[in-house]
Structure 1
Amino acid sequence: MRALTWHGKGDIRCESVPDPRIEDDRDAIIKVTACAICGSDLHIFNGLIPSMDHGDVIGHEAMGEVVEVGKAATGLKVGDRVVVPFTISCGECFFCQRGFYSACERTNPDREKARKLWGNSPGGLFGYSHLLGGYRGGQAEYLRVPHADVGPIRVPDELTDDQVLFLSDIFPTGYMAAEFCDIVPGDTIAIWGCGPVGQMAIRSAFLLGAERVIAIDTVPERLRLAGAAGAATIDFMEEDIYDRIMEMTHGRGADACIDAVGTEAHSRASLDSFVDRVKVATYLGTDRPHVLRQAIHCCRNFGTVSIVGVYGGLLDKIPFGSAINRGLTFRMAQTPVQRYLPSLLQRIRNGEIDPSFVITHRGRLEDGPDLYKTFNERKDGCVKVVLTP
């Protein structure tokens, strides 16, 4: 089959790899009908995710048709149309039983590597390094789905692939980011990053009752999408974010702040962002947490900082003194997607949201290497790429 594979920083290729096969009775094989390039895939593209091997099949946003089912993969049958969560979960362990599917104790065969880096291991993820299981990803013609009796959700025929594909990751992730904020009527939510996850967080914040959303980015197409959803927008290259948010909130700060950017934060010239870049470039640091610092400072006393942008290592010069002295709450996670799927599918069916609004670019798998570059460089107004194998 054809698949997109990683061969080093900036080197994504479409090439032939062996077809997947049933390896466990709980497996299923799907024929991928649509997949997407996620913002967190760009961290792989840019060489920031450790434990990648040459030839690894990448991608973790996928859906398709079931073509083969293991005998213990109950609830699925050949011909079912399904969306596959990016989190791989057994459904039986301590964490899965509590709804924390992304912390599954059984699905990361590389858990000892993760434990050495992070103190303990999360669950396995599709297409996201040998720290997280080394599973083949979904930017391919076919995908093996472990624990298929727990992960995939069947979707109704009346909904298009475009409407449901993002249940695999960015819609649940953006929704979780907003849910973490414990929104009550009248709240102001500030969101850093108007990429795909940020766009879903904006709309989710409004769905959950926010009175005002402040969206922060510098890419014109992203800011236009945010504004179309009703958000007040700030271009961080044009305005001082702290001063502007304090002005908009009469000196109090936002009720909650969402970091939907993560490790590759860009900013207007500032000392901390310059130091971050130098440290990462010289291997003295692992992440550029400028946005997280800014979100902490812009959050009101006893507010919440919700973090869904991807960070990989050790963060430097985080203003924890500000956080503890002002009573901030931090909430963060790799999204336990299965927890959100039924309710979010119902919101789509009810017409409350159509996640396809975020798609700007389409192509075949063969177009994937060029579209990775387009997405990474924000060319041609690129916000979200969908591929059709």
Structure 2
Amino acid sequence: MLLIQNGKIWTMTGKNYDSGCVLIENGKIKDIAKRIDPPQDPDLEIIDAAGGIVMPGIIEAHCHIGIIEEKKGAEGDDCNEATNPITPWLRAIDAVNPMDAAFDDTAAAGITAVQVGPGSANVVGGQFLVMKTKGSRRIDDLVVKSPSAMKIAFGENPKVCYGDMSQIPSTRMAIAGLLREELFKARQYRQEKEEGKLEKEDFRMECWLPVLRKEIPLKAHVHRVDDILTAIRIAEEFDLNLTLDHCTEGHLIAGEIKESGFPAIVGPELTTRSKIEVQYMDFKTVGCLQQHGVLTAITTDHPVSLIQYLPLCAGLAVKKGLPMEEGLKSITINAARICGVDDRIGSLEPGKDADIAIFDGNPLEIFTSCLYTLIDGRIVYKKDNPEDLPTDQKPVS
């Protein structure tokens, strides 16, 4: 068992404690209260938060950590299978390397879970997963949900990738057309399977069934207004769930996005305006969408922006109008809801995974440090004292 004492508890459920305790047992949160007497357990470990902020572990809702490895160049880049614009059967779980040095940065920043997957070269890129950031060198042990989403992409990236090779798609019309064709085939496949008319299962179609059953969403790479609205149009046409990832010009059509009912994962803004699609990039976007009632999360799109600066990105969004509490939710419970894992992570509640970060101040402020990071009730980071960690949890050199 582990008991956290003397902390400012921010639960992300609307109930906070100026000074409180969190009790952890078997990797789960057992109790949260103003006072919890230490249980009579010879193996009890106590953390004195000393007035620091105790909150849910931070969640990055869209990134490519471990699939584009730091310091590895082409050898460590498995993000885009840019040889075929339609590759839904690809699975991020087969490409993410938990030994990527960036995972050490997540632990030191209080980031305990990420949604990671293919890039945006392809119209259909493959399947994302949600995983813990530390705890094992075997990715299967880190998975929270796999698959968690099906990546699709609109706009410049697939156009440039395949247009430069003089093959389809080279226009936005072709991107939409290829996606519709694939979804039409997938819907026919599902119908034939349900009616018992299939001669044999098709591996390249089976991956669409969780999408068609609305168990996971389409995860749409969209920046421009027209691409956002095309993604919404196609999702509604096929009656599918959708997340609007990046959503750079979302503030220009916030009302239309609200009407669609689809959530947005906004960012990365902590980077350059490197292409035409992001000319209106601004930290105000997430606040504008939130004010219109859109469920929002914030992303670094690591390695486009470094993942450890996710709390800073939320802080900059607050600076541009996002309410402070919503800034915190955008990297905790809102991210968990959009990723479909809020039953396990994203808030401090009894029964949920004990993924917890302890900070010496508000994590959205630049001078704040993470003191402890816990995943499944185990300390995976302790500020300035890595030698106190078990050997299998020490940072990888």
Q: TM-score, normalised by structure 1?
A: 0.30
Q: TM-score, normalised by structure 2?
A: 0.29
